[in-house]
A and B are shown apart, each in its own frame.
Chain A
């Protein structure tokens, strides 16, 4: 079975500081990993994904994520947070093998304070 955990319900960071939103996963084989962002009263928007190759993945709006196979993690990072980054962030995973659908985490609410 595949699963994903986002251990923090809420992350608060000051504007201009680096931010990290944590994600750990469990799959039986190799993972496809995704980050999505949801702004208030909107649908989810794709930020970035890891399929294969370089462990550091760069995405939209200056976000990046590092795939760490030994720690089964895929943390989302940004060097300098903006107030406009405040949103709900979802990590998602699926096993490369098989035909199972994507599984989403419960989400982490990021608040960037001016």
Chain B
């Protein structure tokens, strides 16, 4: 049981490049979340999904897109990366809604030059 996994672990992009971060969970969870963590800012929710085929905006959605084509996967896309998107990105999942315990992946450290 791998839990929540994230690919890749590290990435360096140039301004304007695009990339996709992949999150996968094997716990049959309905809800999935993408957060970014910045020093002094805590965790901020980017987008989330309440089930396969659904997505919703979080606190800081601008510059990101997401897709949940399969229940176990949640993709986060950056169409045109900016230095302000340099951050550590965490994916999480929960069986029920936000009142349920969330399980986090190990994170992806992204640097945009």
Contacts and interface: CB of A to CB of B under 8 A. Distances in A.
Nearest to A47: B101
A101 B96 CA distance: 12
Interface of A: 9, 32, 34, 36, 41-46, 49, 51, 90, 94, 96, 99-107
A94 B98 contact: yes
Interface residues of B, number: 23
A45 B42 contact: no
Interface of B: 4, 33, 35, 40-45, 48, 58, 90, 92, 97-99, 101-107
Given A44-B90, A44-B104, A101-B48, A96 B43 contact: no
B69 to A, nearest CB: 21
20 contacts: A36-B104, A43-B90, A43-B107, A44-B90, A46-B101, A46-B103, A49-B101, A90-B42, A90-B43, A94-B98, A99-B97, A100-B98, A101-B48, A101-B58, A102-B102, A104-B35, A105-B42, A106-B40, A106-B41, A106-B42
